[in-house]
Amino acid sequence: MISKENLFLFLPLVFMLSSILFPQGKLVLCTLCCLFSMIQICILGTEKSLLAYGGTSLFLILLFGFTATSILYVFLFGGFAFFKYFIEKKTLRLGDELLIKLICFNIFLLFFYKYLNIFFINRNEVAHPIFAIILYNLIFALIDLILTYSLTFIEERLKKNDNILFIEKKSNYR
């Protein structure tokens, strides 16, 4: 029998391996991996989710090394679920939350811009890097909105049926 912790350790790896095998859908698969990490926080709690995230990150780095996919998972898609959890746990206004998230995303862009170029945009198609940064910020805001609404929908479905996955804690997501 598979335990919840093993399931939450295994499924993000499946999404990340799929993103390597299907590079056209890399953004969608990485976003699904982030959504799965958010669901993991709702079901397992923060401590066990951090352990599962650490295990997944370590296994991904051991399996692929410091490739663009593993770096984006460790620093952006995997870690964003926890960052989003702690930001939304505070009772901030929506504009303040989005501003904090965009500032942190732009700090990420400062350090890892070349990895995002490999994934999303062919360098020959971008006339100026500022257009790419604006595009990345728009994509990030859209992904954040989609993740928030998807998680709200999933959380409502889980609340209706508490037996699903043996929920231990209720989430602090909105």
Q: Given a cut of 50, is residue 166 above it in pLDDT?
A: no
pTM score, two decimals? Answer: 0.70
- Of 112 and 51, the one with more pLDDT: 51
List pLDDT tens digits, range 86-101: 887 776 777 788 888 8
The answer to whether 141 and 98 are in contact (CB under 8 A) is yes
